[in-house]
Each structure stands twice: as C-alpha cells, then as structure tokens.
Structure 1
Amino acid sequence: MAEQDIIRIAVIDDQNLFRQSLSLLIGSVSRFELATDSPGGEHFLEQLKANPQNIDIAIVDMDMPGMSGMELNRRIQQQYPYIKVIILTVHMNEHLIAQAINAGASSYLAKNCDKDELILAVDTVYKTGFYFNNEAMTAIKHSANHKKQQAKDILSNLPGLTLSKRERQVLHLICREFNNTEIAQELFLSTRTVEGHRINLLNKVNCRNTAGLVLFAIKAGLFEIPL
C-alpha cells in the first residue's frame, strides 16, 4: 500500500454508541477516511443507491434488525463487488465464519478485538483482499477437519478441476498474504501474469474473491495453516 493511499471506510452497525466510537477510531487514523456510517443495511444500501461513493471497505455488524449483516454482505457482493466487507460480530462460530467468507466477506472479527487488530485487518484487507486472525484460522481448520473426507468432498464437487504447478504456487503465496506485486517478484513473473493466474483460480474453484480462494485452499488441503 502506497503511503498516499487513503482507505475509505463505511461503518454499518445499529448500536449507536459502538458505531460512533468506531467512526471516531477510523477518523483518528491518518490513512483512513470515514466515508459514511449507517444504523442498518437498508439505510446503507439506500445511501449508496442515492449517492454512489468510492468506498473501499465496509465494516458490517452481524446482528442488526431488518437486514442482517450476512444478508447485507451478500447484497454488497452482488451490487458493489468492489467493496470489501469485514464482518464484526460477537459470534465466533466456525459455521458462520465459513458461511460469511463463502458469501464474499474478506474478514471476520470479534467485536471485542483490540483496536490495533482492527486497524491491521483494514490495512491487510485493502492490501491483500483478506485478513484471518488465529481465531478465524482455527475455526476454518476445525471446519475443514470436521469430516475425514472433507478435502475429497470439496474437490469431487469440482469435476475436472486441475491446477497447474504455477497456479498452485500462486495460490500458496496468496494464502501467505502476498499481493500481486509481491507474488510477481517471488516467482519472477509480471504482475499482469499473476493477475491472470488469480482470475483463472477464481473461475476454476468458483470463488467470489481472494478470501474465498484461501478458504478453498485450506478446506481442500492445499494449504496448511501455520498455527
């Protein structure tokens, strides 16, 4: 991330005090800019519809009256796929984590996380497209190991799936939080070639974004989580 980059962030949470406090935190970081804050999913989507904004990241609460954070995440992926979603919730459940990421979320954080971790998550999601802390990684790993045949089941659901050696190398580096430029340097490729491999991977495994690729790699046994 270049020093001059400003990350524009939206906060969607129905708890006024929490939303206002989070907005103040965002405003205190020089490279962050609060684009908007909303008390709910419907309000946020109406804001975007009326006045489309250049929002990079949306920090979304899971539990909200009306439209849930999970549903808002799905709607954002459908209508504004350039916006990366960080789910912020009290529910650290492996099923919900996998469900949110499969639906396109780029990160899944506990509401009681440290402010430094939230800042790290925003920076990392902006840079690499995903951020999973140890808690989320552990939940994903447990979910992947829940059935002995999990990896075989995942791969069998994608008949004809074959990944080239280069695609596996790119996927491994994506899982290690390398961005396209860093992958290109590591593998002595052009950034454009790396982007082509990333697009091919997304198409082959039918994932929405980088976070989905990482989830696939872990569940399919193609990447071992370094815990």
Structure 2
Amino acid sequence: MKSSTDVIIIEDNELLRDSLKEAINKSSSIRCENTFNSGEAALDFIGKEELVPDIILLDIGLPGLSGIELIPELRKLSPTSKIIIITIHDEDENIFKAICAGAAGYLLKDLSSDKIIESISEVLNGGAPMNSHIAKKVLNMFRDQNVKSAGYDLSEREREILSFLVEGLSKKQIGEKIFLSHHTVDSHLRNIYAKLEVHSRSSAISKAIKEKLL
C-alpha cells in the first residue's frame, strides 16, 4: 500500500511551479518529485516512465498544447489519475471544457498553497474542489440553459445530490447538508451512476453539464 500521495505539476510559471512543489513536499502524506513546464514534456515522461500519479495539477495556459487539450491525453496515459486545473482563467468556456474533459477540480491561482493542498486531499476523498466563484459560475451555466434533457429518470433526491456533486461537495459534505448517512449517500450515488451509465464522479458531472440535466 502506498504511504504517500504522488503529485505531478504541469505549469510553465517556474516560480509558481517551484513554490507549489516546495509546499507539497512539506506535507507529511503528499509528495511531488516531477514537474514539467509543458504538456508535451509531461506526456513524453509519463509515457516513457509509465508514471501513474495520484494527482495532476495542471495549468490551462501552457505553451504548445493547452491544459484543456492535455486532459484527454493524460487520461489515456494515466486513467486513474485525478486532474485538478489551477489557472488564472475563469471564463465560462474554459470551465465548461475542462469539466467536460474530465477535470476533477478547477481552482484559481489566487488560492494559497495550503488551500491547494487541502483541495488535493478533498479530491482523494471524493470531492471536486472549486473556488466558490467557480462553483457559482458552474451553477449559472445550468440556469442559463433554456433546454433540459429528459433527465434519465432521476428522482428529485438524485437530482439534488447530482447538483451537490457539480458544486464540488464530497460524500460526507452531502450527507451533512441533507442529513443522510454515508451509506445512504453511497446508495444514491450508485443509482445516479447506473442511470447515467457512468462509473465515476467526474463522468457524472461532465454528463450533467453536457446534457443539461439540472
């Protein structure tokens, strides 16, 4: 069993890249040994070394391939890795594309290193971290859509829980918010995944956004 969480950073800003690595390596349970200044360098290294990081911290505005273009390529090479976007870009289109491509979280660079490390732990515990500003934008995307799909026969409770997933809440936070046990939330999530024909949180969120389920 792994004793620590492996993180890689793909960020072209050397100062930010180094400061994030330093902050992560001060943590007792999270380690960062590999950082890259471009997506191409990361893909080459991951492919050659058969690297399977637990977490990938990914910038959007990279030279060459953008972070959004990288997400599907990274998921092909390392499908179990969780990808967290860290960027200055808060445009709706970037958020939409990143989440639909499979990003597990979307953070703005004005967060402190401590908050970013907290977000890594949140992803590992089943959450989908976003700045409150970003979470509001995601919900507004749904409200701005005029046409809704049939909804896959989701119950009102399932739709409510799906909306909390989109907001980035963990299973524990969902249970506390609507006064349900961990096991009951798990049961609802299994039903949601089965109805949406997906197998992960990020896929459920992506489908909810793409198909306007909320």
TM bucket, shorter chain: 0.7 to 0.9
Structure 1 residue 18: deviation in Å? Answer: 1.6
Distance apart, 1:136 and its partner CA: 1.2
Q: Which deviations, in whole Å up to 9, do the C-alpha atoms of 1:99-154 show, x marking residues without a partner?
A: 1001100111111212222112111111114212311111112222224x2xxx24
Indicate conservation of the 8 Å contact 1:95/1:143, yes or no. Answer: no
TM-score under structure 1 normalisation? 0.76
Q: Please give the residue correspondences for 1:1-227 in structure 2 after superposition, counting only pairs within 5 Å.
A: 6-147=4-145, 149=146, 153-156=147-150, 161-163=152-154, 171=162, 174=165, 176-178=169-171, 186=181, 188=183, 196-197=190-191, 199-203=193-197, 209-214=200-205, 216=208, 219-221=212-214
Q: Give CA-to-partner distance per residue, 1:33-82, whole Å, 9 cap, x none.
A: 11411111111111111111231110001111111111111212233221
Query: Partners in 1 of 2:115 and 2:27 — Cα distance?
Result: 13
| Distance across 2 between alignment mates of 1:72 and 1:11 | 13
Residues 187-207 of structure 1: CA deviation (Å, up to 9, x unaligned): 65697x67743641451xx6x
Range with greater deviation from structure 2 (120-129 or 99-108): 120-129
Question: Aligned with 1:47: secondary structure?
Answer: helix
SS in structure 1 of the partner of residue 144 of structure 2: coil
Contact 2:105 2:123 in 1 (8 A): yes
Q: 2: CA distance between counterparts of 1:142 and 1:174?
A: 15
SS in 2 for 1:54: coil
Deviation at residue 95 of structure 1 after TM alignment: 2.1
Deviations 1:157-208 (A, max 9, x none): x7xx2235785576467564106xx79x8265697x67743641451xx6x7
Q: Distance in 2 between matches of 1:5 and 1:199?
A: 30
Q: Percent identity?
A: 24
Deviation at 1:6, TM superposition (A): 1.9
Give aligned pairs, total: 204
Instruction: List alignment gaps of at least 5 residues for structure 1.
Output: 222-227
Q: Judging changes above 3 Å, is the alpha-carbon distance between structure 1 residues 189 and 135 closer, same or farther for their aligned structure 2 residues?
A: closer
Superposed displacement of residue 22, structure 1: 1.1
> Aligned in 2, Cα 1:104/1:46: closer, same or farther, shift over 3 Å?
same
Q: What TM-score do you get using the length of structure 2 for normalisation?
A: 0.80
Q: Is the 8 A contact 1:170 1:197 kept in 2?
A: no
The 3-state SS of whatever aligns with 2:62 is coil
Aligned counterpart, 1:225? none
